[in-house]
Amino acid sequence: MGLFEGKKGLILGVANDNSIAWAIAKEIMDQGGVCGFTHLPDRPDDERKRNHRRVAQVIKDNNAAKFLIPLDVQNDENIAEVMQTTGEHFGKIDFLLHSIAFADREDLNKDTIRTSREGFKLAMDISAYSLLAVANAADSILADGASIATMTYFGGEKAVPGYNVMGICKAALDAAMRYLAYDLGPRGIRVNALSAGPIRTLAGRAAGVDEMLKMYEHMAPLCRNVTHEEVGKAGAYLLSDMSNGITGEILHVDGGYNMMGSPGRLLDQLK
């Protein structure tokens, strides 16, 4: 019997087959779970519906993927519609994955001090507030004992040059995760965050992942980068009953990079 046998849930944030959200969802479905998926809304003038087609292509061969609908996390009515549809398909859900973040590239590429007011509000709304908005809308369909997981990054805990305004958003997301863990704790609902090391994804490319991959390989105690599969298994763990005693935590899947207090073996390269 799989770890998610009889479990149902909602996956927010798959963009393509390199998405961390897909790695997690695939592990869940391989372990017997069933999932509903959302995608970024397509522009009205996009006759090809690129966002829908991209995610549909990823999930099309998996019978455990039950539906795919658009989600605009800046639109409360749309969030409510998504939760209503999820409830119609599944009744109560056992897990919810939030893997959503965005900052305007123009702001992301600036020093943090130069971040525009509008860019800051946009990034914070989509990357941090959306977790609160989604959890609030899902409250009535979350089963007692359900699990929520969100995707964060080490740049919300420490200053990571180049991560800039997104680091501030991740710090806010981490705090939101902890307060949600407190709010939902009486129902046995757990809320945690997964902090992956650099991985080649759409979001990762925007944050300069290639340079980070080289640095992590030299600094991490495991002397390598992590894989999509490893992050997928860790995310599934947080959403499963195997982590029932854990809430309000950040689980780092980065080969141990986050615990280093010095450049470690990278110093050998500087001699």
Which residues are part of the catalytic machinery? 153, 163
Q: Which two tokens stand for residue 62?
A: 């998996």
Question: How far is C-alpha 1 from the geometric centre of its chain's CA atoms?
Answer: 27
Cβ atoms of residues 265 and 219 within 8 Å = yes
Q: Which two tokens stand for residue 49?
A: 């519906």
- 221 to 147, 186, 200, 217, 262: CA distances (angstroms): 30, 38, 20, 9, 11
Cβ atoms of residues 69 and 118 within 8 Å = no
What are phi and psi for residue 140, nearest 5 degrees?
-75, -20
